[in-house]
């Protein structure tokens, strides 16, 4: 029997058959400001603080201070959880990380500067962090700057496959990978392969409807589990994301 993991996001589990499947890897896709990092932080924090499931958060874009600041806005004290050894935060940002000299090999200039990313170093750090806290939840935020380091399409795809394979081999750990959409369709990811190498794909939208914007969530794929095929509205409240599973988003508004 498949074991389910409570996401910690009110209403979300109702649209994915009762929760995420334990030990699998999922991708959160959306444009800038869609709520991807909040979703990932809520998943990690609630797991550690309320469900006794320790976690690892890997930041590849923002600084650790920025991630902690975002979490504090919703009352999530990551520093306390880290002190209690319930979570680990791996700073893999090419711009902010004090580990940058060991994590990035200086080669020819890349998209984000002169440091070319070393995937094996990242994988080693993730494994070490997971081992330290016996992690059951992992977040990679975000895949986008990571794969931008690779100029060749084939190489980028191989690195994505390597990462997802590694995550799937971490026994008992449920993983979320955050990534950007380049347009409002699931196929419009940077390298086209991202949604196909994970067990589930969750899309976050910020849809313009007349004079306002409506936040919506869609489950595009959920391997081995029934799920809603509709777009459902969600809100970002002072306590985090709330999904409304009984409501649906249609052209022109919510019903």
Each residue of 16-50: pLDDT tens digit? Answer: 999 999 999 999 999 989 999 999 999 999 999 99
- Average pLDDT of span 198-216: 89
The residues, any chain, with a CB within 8 Å of residue 21's CB and separated by 6 or more, are 2, 3, 4, 5, 174, 199, 200, 223, 224, 225
DSSP 3: P
Q: Pinpoint the alpha helices (H) of the chain.
A: 36-50, 64-72, 78-83, 100-103, 119-133, 143-147, 153-169
What are the chain's domains? 25-204 (3.40.50.300)
Tell me the two tokens of residue 19: 């929760």
Angstrom distance (rounded) from CA 44 to CA 177: 12
The per-residue pLDDT for 189 is: 58
The per-residue pLDDT for 105 is: 33
Total-model pTM: 0.89
The per-residue pLDDT for 67 is: 96
- Cα angle 20, 93, 58; round to 5: 25
The pLDDT of residue 185 is above 50: yes
Rg, Å, the chain Cα set: 18
The per-residue pLDDT for 110 is: 39
The per-residue pLDDT for 121 is: 81
Residue pLDDT, tens place only, 210-225: 778 899 999 999 999 9
The pLDDT of residue 95 is above 60: no
The pLDDT of residue 153 is above 80: no
The residues, any chain, with a CB within 8 Å of residue 100's CB and separated by 6 or more, are 93, 94, 115
Q: What is the mean pLDDT of the chain?
A: 86
């Amino acid at each position: 029997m498949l074991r389910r993991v409570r996401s910690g996001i009110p209403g979300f589990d109702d649209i994915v058959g009762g929760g995420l499947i334990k030990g699998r890897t999922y991708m959160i896709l959306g444009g800038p400001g869609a709520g991807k990092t909040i979703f990932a932080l809520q998943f990690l924090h609630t797991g550690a603080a309320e469900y006794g499931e320790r976690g690892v958060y890997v930041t590849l874009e923002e600084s650790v201070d920025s991630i902690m600041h975002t979490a504090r806005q919703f009352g999530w004290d990551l520093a306390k959880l880290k002190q209690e050894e319930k979570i680990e935060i791996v700073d893999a940002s090419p711009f902010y990380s004090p580990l940058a000299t060991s994590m990035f090999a200086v080669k020819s200039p890349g998209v984000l500067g002169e440091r070319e990313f070393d995937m094996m170093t990242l994988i080693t750090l993730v494994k070490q962090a997971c081992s330290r806290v016996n992690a059951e939840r992992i977040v990679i935020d975000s895949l986008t700057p990571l794969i931008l380091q690779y100029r060749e399409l084939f190489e980028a795809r191989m690195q994505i496959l390597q990462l997802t394979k590694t995550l799937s081999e971490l026994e008992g750990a449920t993983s979320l990978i955050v990534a950007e959409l380049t347009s409002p369709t699931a196929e419009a990811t940077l390298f086209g392969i991202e949604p196909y190498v994970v067990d589930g794909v969750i899309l976050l939208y910020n849809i313009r409807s007349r004079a306002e914007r409506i936040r919506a969530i869609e489950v595009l794929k959920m391997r081995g589990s029934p799920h809603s095929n509709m777009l459902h509205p969600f809100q970002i409240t002072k306590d985090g994301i709330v999904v409304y599973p009984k409501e649906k988003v249609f052209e022109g508004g919510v019903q």
